Structure 1
Amino acid sequence: MSDDGVPAPGSGYRKGPVLLRRGQIPATTSDQRLLTRDEGADWLHGDPWRVMRIQSEFVEGFGALAELGPAVSVFGSARTLPDHPDYALGEQVGRRLAEAGYAVITGGGPGIMSAANKGATEAGGLSVGLGIELPFEQGMNPWVDLGVNFRYFFARKTMFVKYAEGFVVLPGGFGTFDELFEALTLVQTHKVTEFPIVLVGTDYWQGMLDWLRGPVLERGMIREADLALLQLVDDPDEAVRIVRDRGAELRAAERAAAAGAERAQEEAEAEADEEAEAAGGE
């Protein structure tokens, strides 16, 4: 998603597939209720049912996206207005990714998300939106071709990572930072197969990179190699080239590893056959 901002009050509240308005709007979100430390033993009765709901979100997400094909997740602020240069940049990123054969995945909301979805749709690509339950309804932006709504952030975040071959991150706030650093952490700790993470907008991101290269690196909190996980560009074409080239490298490495494992298996089977024959001859 990235920064959701605060939509105009009174437009509604989306809870999974359900839309609530006026007196039906709850005081807390599903995530908030899940993460609240309940007193007493009430959680014994409520949380097991929550597990079933969480499971259903994963099942629905996997089912909707399983045949997506090559895709890239694009993040950025929901507060960016259509007349802002960052919005035009988001459109270009979405368009270039679609022209390169990628589906474009966003949070499905307004701002940069809408811009990237618009660019992808206008270029004839598949435009995907992964929505989230919020205090007030945002709804899917009109450029989303395939939309999935989630109650829980962690289920939604899984989809952003599982079905993407790379991340392109445009200017945004806390939500964007969260998604960016989660992706970095997953790659750094080898929880996912390495994929490219490209920041677009030198004027916006350079200060953060200077901070990472300065006190964060100097105090030993990260390694020099960790900084190489981030690429900084201003040109949407360059962002797409990095994603495409790195994706091709990773796929080639995976094919080579698979071929090597297959050869090793064949050699092991041949050796076992020879030992069996030798044992039979004795």
Structure 2
Amino acid sequence: MIEPKRRQGAVILGGREHAQPTADQALLQRPTKRDWSQEDPWRVLRIQSEFVEGFDALNNLPPAISIFGSARTRTDDPLYAQAEDIAGRLVRAGFAVITGGGPGVMEAGNRGAHLADGTSVGLGIELPHEQGMNDFIDIGVNFRYFFARKMMFLKYSQGFITMPGGFGTLDELFEALTLIQTGKVTHFPVVLFGSRYWSPLVAWIRDTLEEGRFISPGDSDLFVVTDDPEEAVAAMGEPRQVWTD
């Protein structure tokens, strides 16, 4: 029987070590014993190293678009083929493609970019059960901390194309919308691909949030809903170099 393994930054944990909490979990819980390697000031150095590694790996990346979506999408699902198609179109439009580096929609996005001879990037994350990087990544960075990984998506992407997905996809979507709404990022198009999946959420945003004045008028226009891969790519605009120095 093959023992489960998971990656923690540059380290692979198996056997009894696999039962250790993830870095995010350890950061957010109060330790029951004091150990210098578990103290928050020490963790600051780990966090700093993640930012340094991410910035160093992605600094010369061409203009890029991030594709988000479910890790559980099967290769025979039409959604997989659509994500692959969108990624290929993005490459032909002059973009690199960034995903979370895992299976499902993420693999489809990396595959489409790779097969189109573009730059295919995967930003992985430590999870309790090893998800692993897919086989279609040209540049891969694995993170311990979700917030460091999110920074890389936002810093190095010109826009997001969000396919159907679960809690993680919704988290990434609403973080992007919040930063756009508050002016923390500018000129940042967001596409929700798959109207059947997204329509109930969009209706709730417009009928409950906007009508109830929980968001401002026009905030529901911060994203585009489409079923057309060509329209999704066109919504990203023209590639523009983002200087990171």
The TM-score normalised by the length of structure 2 is 0.93
Secondary structure of the 2:134 match is coil
Long gaps (5+) in structure 2: none
3-state SS of 1:104 partner: strand
User: Structure 2 CA distance, aligned partners of 1:54 and 1:44?
Assistant: 13
CA distance in 1, matches of 2:235, 2:8: 37
Q: Is the 8 A contact 1:16 1:149 kept in 2?
A: yes
Quick check: 1:101 aligned with 2:101? no
The alignment's C-alpha RMSD in Å is 2.0
The change in CA–CA distance for 1:146 and 1:10 in structure 2 (over 3 A counts) is same
- Tell me what 1:150 maps to: 143
Q: Distance in 2 between matches of 1:85 and 1:44?
A: 46
User: Residue type matched to 2:226 in 1?
Assistant: V
- Per-residue CA deviation, residues 7-58 of structure 1 (Å, 9 max, x unaligned), is xx94311110111112221331100110113468768971111000100000
**Counterpart of 1:263?**
none
Aligned partner of 1:55 in structure 2 is 48
| Range with bigger deviation, 23-32 or 178-187 | 23-32
**1:224 match:** 217
Of the candidates 89, 110, 130, which is equivalent to residue 103 of structure 2?
110
Deviating above 4 A after TM superposition, structure 1's stretches of 4 or more consecutive aligned residues are 39-45
How many residue pairs were aligned?
A: 241
Instruction: Specify the structure having the higher radius of gyration (Cα).
Output: 1
1:51 partner amino acid: V
**What SS does structure 1 have at the residue aligned with 2:80?**
helix
Does the aligned pair in 1 maintain the 2:80–2:104 contact within 8 Å?
Answer: yes
> What is aligned with 1:84?
77
Q: Distance in 2 between matches of 1:102 and 1:11?
A: 36
Aligned pair partner of 1:72 in 59, 65, 80: 65
2:46 counterpart letter in structure 1: R
Match of 2:113 in 1: 120
Per-residue deviation, residues 158-209 of structure 1 (Å, max 9, x unmatched): 0000000000000001000000000000110111223000010011101100
Q: 1:162-181 to 2 correspondence within 5 Å?
A: 162-181=155-174
Higher helix share: 1
Q: Do residues 36 (structure 1) and 29 (structure 2) align?
A: yes
Q: Find 2:6's aligned residue among 8, 13, 19.
A: 13
TM-score (norm 1): 0.81
Are 1:10 and 1:136, in contact at CA under 8 Å, matched by a contact in 2?
Answer: no
The one-character-per-residue Cα deviations of 1:71-96 (angstroms, maximum 9, x if unpaired) are: 00110000000001111111011111
Is 1:205 the counterpart of 2:210? The answer is: no
The answer on whether the counterparts of 1:72 and 1:165 sit within 8 Å (CA) in structure 2 is: yes
Q: Is the 8 A contact 1:29 1:133 kept in 2?
A: yes
Q: Helix, strand or coil: the match of 2:19?
A: coil
Letter in 2 for 1:234: D
Q: 2:185 is matched by which residue type in structure 1?
A: V
Q: What is the distance in 2 between the residues matched to 1:82 and 1:45?
A: 40
